[in-house]
Amino acid sequence: MKKWIVSAGAVALVAALAAASPASARSGVRIGSLNCTVAGSVGLILGSSTRMNCRFRSANGGRVERYTGSITRVGLDIGFTSKSYMTWAVFAPGRVNAGALAGSYGGVSAQATVGVGLGANVLVGGFKKTIALQPLSIQGQTGLNVAAGIAGLRLRYAGR
């Protein structure tokens, strides 16, 4: 059973990586990074929704902004994970105002966890759909889980 879960997770992760288009990142300038702590979750076979708290740090080492939100997956999601961490490089067409990352993002997601696992999330959206969260995020977590499908991220500005 574990081999099947690992194999399915690896296939899903490769599919998400193959679907990533670096074009969205190339169309903008790297303006900073978004680091999120994601609450533990239980996959509901056809999807999940998980709360998260994030901090955006501008590339010039200046401003730090806080965001709250949730990530929702629709598709295969079986198992459980403890608290996880995600990091994205943030690209935009240039300098953006405080709170500009707030909004909805969409794309694809895949993750595999047996003990310790990794995930990938390809998301674009935000202010007038001009913000790209690095085509591939880095996600680290513990648990037993395999997930692949359509991902949605909603961020709300929580101040500095």
**Residue pLDDT, tens place only, 48-78:** 788 999 999 998 877 899 999 998 888 877 7
pLDDT tens per residue across span 87-130: 888 988 877 889 999 999 988 777 776 666 667 676 777 766 77
Alpha-helical runs (H) found in 39-156: none
Task: Report the candidate in 112, 109, 119 with the shortest Cα–Cα distance to residue 146.
Answer: 112
Predicted TM-score (pTM) of this structure: 0.72
Asked whether the beta carbons of 43 and 79 are under 8 A apart, the reply is yes
